Structure 1
Amino acid sequence: MATNFEQYLKHNRQKHLDELFDFLRIPSISSLSEHKEDVKTCAEWLAQSLMSAGLENVKIMETDGHPVVYGDWLHAEGKPTVLIYGHYDVQPVDPLHLWDTPPFEPTISDEKLFARGASDDKGQVFMHVKAIEALLQTTGALPVNIKMMIEGEEEVGSPNLPIFVENQKDLLAADVIVISDTGMIEKGKPTICYGLRGLCGMQINVKGTKGDLHSGLYGGGVQNAAHAIVELLASFRGKDGRILVDGFYDKVVAITDNEKKAYEALHTDEEKLRQDLGVPKLFGEKGYTFNERTWVRPTLEINGVYSGFQGEGIKTVLPSEAAAKITCRLVPDQDPDEILALIEKHIDANKPEGVTVTVEHLDKGAPYVTPYDHPAIQAAGRAYEKVYNVPTSYTRGGGSIPIVATFDQILNLPVVLMGFGLPDENFHAPNEHFHLENFDKGLLTICHYWYELTDAM
């Protein structure tokens, strides 16, 4: 059976690449209003592709923004149901002059496919479609039930997807969610990300005098807004990297011994990492490795600070205003709203004299984790190993995909992040590309996964 789909994929490789080229040529940039019709065209192209692959009940479902494309195949009686999620929208291409080839004219060079969306996420979505096609064409059936939900607003934060998922809970009911919108830790090393940090952010505004003042006339007599915000920001973190907000760590769940061993098995070279980053020393919370600090420990980071004169030379003023943007990466079981409330309480307790401080809440999303030993996770690991012939690495991601937590909260399903991208593929940047080695091996891995999953669940 495996030989059948392997041969089918090999025989149809060029045809599939030609189709992927057509997919990538559509400039489905969701953030730019002038591309609204392109996003619609892309949804229509994808819906046709799902039907051609053999999926049924294919429809384009409208939202208050860009549409969702849905399709299913539900004839594997008594077998698990998988909900595949992905997105067909892409990032803007600016700065255009840094592209070596036109971003919407796919080009293959050195066995890499260059185009906007090649890795994030059209290429990976397309692989799921072709894996389904290969199995249906060679066996006439799928080993599991499949539902696909591909949205067009991920690159703008999926503003309309939570209400869509809430309203379509019955349609989207499944046993597991599979997402291929992540990557492998390095070339040739298949990786399953089984957790993501959450996020919350705010802007802190400091207001002192009614306007900027002459530093000679008023310096030393009134509070300087720039000094005030520096003092306030310094109160958030100790010299050992630990966050000093009361209650910040109260709900943090420690990792298991098995997880810790899995991270150690990666043999991350922190000295090489230091050199690559060009810093004299890595820094972070004492007692933790770099991977632990960036995957399973929470953070509070200053993202930007503004106050006073920014031009060339000097201007002797006391700034009347200052502002800073901060974000926190959160881990289970930290709640974004609770953390924001704790930070506001800390600000109130540490507010410098002589100024008024206000805050504005920005983005937020809950952390997510599927247990490391969940059958769906381990089945994915076995599928990777059948194709790549090396042990699968298990990691958590330091970043945030808020919609993953939304799936977890609304649908209450395990999520398998089964990605095939590589860290150096320039997603969100000029010259985005996708290694065709992972296109070929990823197709086989997905096919094997459906068989592994039906035996595991």
Structure 2
Amino acid sequence: MERCSWTVPPRKFLEEIGFPPTTEDLEANSLIPFNESDFNETTGSKAHFAREGWNIHTQLGFLPSLEITGIQSGYTGIGFRNSVPGSATVKMNARIVHGQSIQSVSDAIKKFVREHLPSYCSYTLTVGDGNPAVHIPTQGLLFDKAIATLEKVYGTTVLKKYCGATIPIAALFEELLKIPQLYIPLANEDCNMHGADENFTIELAKKGLMFAEHFLADKPAA
């Protein structure tokens, strides 16, 4: 058995980021409420790791990530089995950001695995389909109007938040339509996205309809 600690070289993985957070972005993210106990309870995690000087919203909104989403190996059924597994399957997701290319990140991962696996291991690495990253600006008449409408409808200050999400249609809109895009998160924090019993509160659905009514009817903010 070999014990080791691997860290993906951050320079290679991060060097192509097209839009690093500005001072204004960091300040805006610092205004977003965050309670670590509530976060751990909602997500089921025990801890979160963030780059020094960045809070979790900056970490999730501006940095790429490499995630192991599944591991399968050996016998895990009822009883026991006297055998040592000789193979394993791992599923990984690489979430890239604007400025990175699917090809360059895939090549970097392949190189890393090739250089770090022991010589006595054999493996196959298959790269599936991917979607290009998109950076959506948060300034302009469309965004000013949205902010003004939200503040008018709800009577509270609007927070800007970058979200490291996978929305393939956003890249398609940017490539073909070349028009400004606006995404307003009206989902509840505990919606259990992409999981069993995914949910959406009726109150937030009503808020979304109220915003749409005013946004489509009102003139753009000056």
Answer yes or no: same fold by TM over 0.5: yes
Kindly provide the CA deviation profile for residues 347-381 of structure 1, in whole angstroms up to 9, marking residues without a partner as x.
12223112222111124212222222232122111
Cross-structure match for 1:255: 21
- Give SS of 2:138's match: coil
Cα distance in 2 for partners of 1:267, 1:317 equals 50
8 Å CA contact 2:62–2:162 kept in 1: the answer is yes
Which sections of structure 2, spanning at least 5 residues, go unmatched?
none
Q: CA deviation at 1:341?
A: 1.3
Partner of 1:37: none
Amino acid aligned to 2:162:
R
How far 1:325 moved relative to its partner?
Answer: 0.9
1:361 matched residue in structure 2: 127
Cross-structure match for 1:90 = none
Specify whether residues 327 and 385 from structure 1 end up closer, same or farther in structure 2 by C-alpha distance, changes over 3 A only: same
- In structure 1, the residue matched to 2:9 is 244
Aligned to 1:33: none
CA drift of 1:388 comes to 0.7
| Post-superposition CA distance 1:276-317 (Å, at most 9, x none) | 545543234444211122222111111111222323444343
Count of residues paired in the alignment: 220
1:448 matched to 2:208? The reply is: no
- Name the structure 2 match of 1:339: 105
Asked if residue 349 in structure 1 is aligned to residue 89 in structure 2, the reply is no
The answer to whether the Cα contact below 8 Å between 1:246 and 1:346 also exists between their aligned partners in 2 is no
Give 3-state SS (helix, strand or coil) of 1:392's partner. coil
Residue 430 of structure 1 corresponds to 197
How much identity, in percent, do the aligned residues show?
23
- What SS class does the counterpart of residue 127 from structure 2 fall into? strand
Q: Give the gaps of 5 or more residues in structure 1.
A: 1-226, 238-242
* Structure with the larger strand share: 1
Give the Cα–Cα distance (whole angstroms) in 2 for the partners of residues 423 and 388 of structure 1: 18
Question: Would the aligned equivalents of 1:247 and 1:342 in 2 still touch at CA under 8 Å?
Answer: yes
- Is 1:377 aligned to 2:151, yes or no? no
- DSSP-derived class of the 1:303 partner: strand
Residue 405 (structure 1) aligned with residue 175 (structure 2): no
Q: 2 CA distance for matches of 1:261 and 1:338?
A: 31
- Output the amino acid matched with 1:397: C
**SS at the partner of 2:65?**
coil
Q: Is the 8 A contact 2:188 2:200 kept in 1?
A: no
Shift in alpha-carbon separation, 1:433–1:381, aligned structure 2, 3 A: same
Instruction: Output the CA distance in 1 between the equivalents of 2:102 and 2:111.
Output: 14
- C-alpha distance in structure 2 between counterparts of 1:438 and 1:430, whole Å: 17
RMSD, aligned CA: 2.8
SS at match of 1:332: coil
Instruction: Tell me, in whole angstroms, the C-alpha distance in 2 between the residues paired with 1:335 and 1:251.
Output: 8
The letter for the 2-side match of 1:430 is D
Shift of the alpha carbon at 1:340?
0.8
| Structure 2 Cα separation of the partners of residues 246 and 255 of structure 1 | 16
Contact persistence 1:300–1:329 (CA under 8 A): yes
CA distance in 2, matches of 1:398, 1:244: 20
Greater relative contact order structure (CA < 8 Å, 6+ sep): 1
Aligned position for 1:131: none
Give the aligned residue type for 2:178.
Answer: N
Question: Structure 2: how far apart are the matches of 1:324 and 1:347?
Answer: 12
Which of 277, 282, 300 in structure 1 is aligned with 2:66? Answer: 300
Which of 40, 45, 55 is matched with 1:274 structurally?
40
Q: What letter is aligned with 1:329?
A: R
Distance (whole Å) between structure 2 residues aligned to residue 368 and residue 430 of structure 1:
29
